[in-house]
Structures are given as C-alpha cells and as structure tokens.
C-alpha cells in the first residue's frame, strides 16, 4: 500500500525529472550539448527514484 507520504515523494521526484528535462531541451536548443546530456541524465535519475519509491524500494520514510 502506497502512503500519502510516498505519493508526495513520487510526485516530487517526477517534478524534478520534468524540470531537468525542460532544462535539457533549452540547453540542447542553444547548442550546449554536454550540459544538455547532464540534465538529461538527471531527468532519468529522478524518474528512477520515483519508480523505486512507487515500489517502496530504497530509503523511503513513510
């Protein structure tokens, strides 16, 4: 069962992922490819943290 705290954490991680992806797109459009790759990596990282939280794997405070 997913608690409200875990739902909030998942939402927060997905917001972080979206923000990183938006930044990656802006950087890419301005030919800052290395920085774009970095932000893309963090978008993936935050998405994986959200997935782990949804499965209640890892260091989750409930």
H helix or E strand, kind and range, residue 45: helix 33-54
- CA dihedral in degrees (17, 18, 20, 25; nearest 10)? 140
Distance CA 3, CA 48 (A): 19
Answer yes or no: are the C-beta atoms of 33 and 41 closer than 8 Å.
Answer: no
pLDDT score for 53:
95
Distance CA 52, CA 28 (A): 28
Segment-wise mean pLDDT, segments of 10 residues, the chain, 62 residues: 93 98 98 98 98 87 52
SS3 content of the chain, % helix, strand, coil (to 5): 75, 0, 25
């Amino acid at each position: 069962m997913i608690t409200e705290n875990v739902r909030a954490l998942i939402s927060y991680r997905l917001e972080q992922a979206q923000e990183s992806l938006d930044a990656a797109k802006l950087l890419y459009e301005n030919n800052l490819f290395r920085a774009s790759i970095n932000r893309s990596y963090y978008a993936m990282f935050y998405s994986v943290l959200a997935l782990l939280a949804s499965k209640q794997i890892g260091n989750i405070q409930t």
